[in-house]
Structure 1
Amino acid sequence: MPKKFELPKLLIHLLFILLSLAVVLPFLLVVAVSLTDEASLTDNGYQFLPESFSLEAYRYLLDAPDILLRAYGVTITVTAIGALAGLLLTAMTAYVISRPDYRYNRATTFYVFFTMLFSGGLVPSYILITQYLHLKDSLLALILPVLLSPFNIMVMKGFMSKIPLEIVESAKIDGARELRIFFRIILPLSTPALATLGLLISFTYWNEWFNAMLYIDDPNKVPLQLLLVRTLGSIEFITSNSEFAQQLGIDLSSFPNNSARMAIAVLAGGPMLIIFPFFQRFFVKGLTVGSLKG
């Protein structure tokens, strides 16, 4: 006899289906609008099935493909280096303050937590990066400001504190030193948390454009997000200044105003949406395993 669905379980399934649709449908609409002719958008509004298919928005954004590819390269480089370095430093810091035999455990934990409440400020940070560290127009200026997050350290600390201390003590008895214990025992046991935080750190670097606006003037080092922000600003300027558009010979009636905005969102978020499913099981496990006792 087939098993029947219980009402509470059915309601839970329906709830998650609705939540999934609430997340997926807006993105599908963004993709559909980016592929819709601008005149059709003006006449019919936003639709999931475009009445008039057009790639004009992507042609406008890909008018200089070398610039876009270079921006992708900068963003991928910064994201890869920043995520790996940030993850390593986060894990090392969390491991130290998670050890109950560390003398300054409470003081260091409070110091890390205190930095979550107050930031250094924009002006001091700018002076530090440009005048003391001399990182103007350097990719390090995009990596260092968000390299370590107190929140990530506290999350990793909570995970590592559940690793039995007996494992570490047994390794010490066998002659293992701290670095060997950390890299050969602690990190493999922390894979779910590392995958979760690695994904969050990657998202942070991928979506970061404000630091690039402050510290990067070299056009060859402009990351993707800043390039798209500037492109969006150019679109807004052209559409709000008809006389300037006429001087450039641009027909505003066919100019991909709304569709280009959506195409920007697709170009900005598409790569991360492709990568996320490969880390999904680690992400879910990392969010749940921290609530379980080791």
Structure 2
Amino acid sequence: MKKKRFSLSTCLIYIFLTFFCLACLFPLLLTVIVSFTSEASIEKNGYSMFPEHFSLEAYKLLFQNSAVIFRAYTISIFITVVGTTLAIFITTMAAYTLSNNKVKYRNMIALYFFITTLFNGGIVPWYIMNHKLGLIDNIWALIIPTLMFSAFNMFLIRNFMDSLPNELRESAYIDGANDMRIAIQIYLPLCLPVIATVCLFYAIAYWNDWFNSIMLITNKDLYPVQYILFQIKSNLDALKAIPQNASLSFKLPVEAMKMAVVCLTIGPIVLLYPYLQRFFIKGLIIGSVKG
């Protein structure tokens, strides 16, 4: 069996990719390490990969009221799972409709969706609409306003569907299947790569959303984790701005707590991405070059 020989160019490519991966990983590792660093070490040496003293004080303070954090995590997980599921279903059904060449005026409908990527009504009409729909101080206020699907995601799925043979739909029609059955049983399984890609986009949007909480929620029991952590960071910035003679901010691990907040925020998404990574690149490339 002939052994594969490495050329100089191949070695250079591997070296470049290794350094590139390390460069991408470095900020994440630094964030985690700083979150476990004592405030005195940060003040003395700045951010360091090898701190003088490690400390759990930042996480102890964050979880001092652990019931609030865990409740916020529960709210965030619920709105992310439910919102992503509903958004994926609506986006996929809209994409299937616009990919069907038997639908009249489908290009005009697509233009209508495209216009929404260029213009929006503004915050005041958005708030009034949500108020009229009763989306104030309830769990649906964190789901439905973001549920109005992104036109970019819809076009991504539609372009992927356009790359599938139209004979699939015609054959299903001949066999007596309706459009709902064709979409769910034939097109959805074939579109898993692009659906997984869009699913990641929606999940990140729902998980990172704190704007809806500020605008539509006053009940503290409905605050998602992003808004709770946003409040913590704002309070830390306010404490740090206190004059030195008050010295209150120096009693708290301000910088370490900021990094701990980042770790708590990105953790679930970092864990989710590896499961969708094998679909991500394929779905993004195929969905973006067709049509």
Aligned counterparts, 1:1-294, within 5 A: 2-130=3-131, 132-147=132-147, 148-242=149-243, 250=248, 252-290=249-287
1:54-85 deviation per Cα after TM superposition (whole angstroms, max 9, x unaligned)? 00000111110000000001100110011000
Distance 1:42 1:12, change over 3 A: same
Q: TM-score, normalised by structure 2?
A: 0.94
Give the C-alpha shift of residue 254 in structure 1.
3.6
Asked if the contact 1:238–1:245 (Cα under 8 Å) also holds between the matched residues in 2, the reply is no
CA distance in 1, matches of 2:289, 2:120: 32
CA distance in 1, matches of 2:88, 2:158: 13
Distance 1:192 1:244, change over 3 A: farther
Asked if the contact 1:83–1:205 (Cα under 8 Å) also holds between the matched residues in 2, the reply is yes
Asked if the contact 1:206–1:225 (Cα under 8 Å) also holds between the matched residues in 2, the reply is yes
CA distance in 2, matches of 1:36, 1:3: 46
Q: Which amino acid aligns with 1:180?
A: R
Asked if the contact 1:195–1:283 (Cα under 8 Å) also holds between the matched residues in 2, the reply is yes
Q: Which amino acid aligns with 2:277?
A: Q
Q: Percent identity?
A: 39
Distance 1:145 1:6, change over 3 A: farther
CA distance in 2, matches of 1:271, 1:89: 24
Distance 1:291 1:218, change over 3 A: closer
Asked if the contact 1:196–1:283 (Cα under 8 Å) also holds between the matched residues in 2, the reply is yes
CA distance in 2, matches of 1:7, 1:118: 51
1:137-161 deviation per Cα after TM superposition (whole angstroms, max 9, x unaligned)? 1222221222111110111111011
- Where does the alignment leave 5 or more consecutive residues of structure 2 unmatched? none
- The aligned length equals 289
Asked if the contact 2:84–2:203 (Cα under 8 Å) also holds between the matched residues in 1, the reply is yes
CA distance in 2, matches of 1:222, 1:6: 56
Give the C-alpha shift of residue 51 in structure 1.
1.5
Give the C-alpha shift of residue 242 in structure 1.
4.8
Give the C-alpha shift of residue 224 in structure 1.
0.6
CA distance in 1, matches of 2:246, 2:87: 45
CA distance in 1, matches of 2:5, 2:121: 58
Give the C-alpha shift of residue 292 in structure 1.
7.3
- The CA RMSD measured in Å over matched residues stands at 1.9
Q: Which amino acid aligns with 2:252?
A: F
CA distance in 2, matches of 1:209, 1:292: 33
Asked if the contact 1:39–1:254 (Cα under 8 Å) also holds between the matched residues in 2, the reply is no
CA distance in 2, matches of 1:260, 1:44: 17
Q: Which amino acid aligns with 1:143?
A: I
CA distance in 2, matches of 1:264, 1:9: 40
Give the C-alpha shift of residue 98 in structure 1.
1.0
Give the C-alpha shift of residue 245 in structure 1.
6.1
Asked if the contact 2:136–2:217 (Cα under 8 Å) also holds between the matched residues in 1, the reply is yes
Asked if the contact 1:192–1:282 (Cα under 8 Å) also holds between the matched residues in 2, the reply is yes
CA distance in 1, matches of 2:279, 2:200: 10
CA distance in 1, matches of 2:286, 2:100: 19
Q: Which amino acid aligns with 2:45?
A: N
DSSP 3-state at the match of 1:253: helix
Asked if the contact 2:156–2:288 (Cα under 8 Å) also holds between the matched residues in 1, the reply is no
- Where does the alignment leave 5 or more consecutive residues of structure 1 unmatched? none
Say which is worse superposed, 24-33 or 170-179, in terms of deviation. Answer: 170-179
DSSP 3-state at the match of 2:101: coil
Q: Which amino acid aligns with 1:33?
A: V
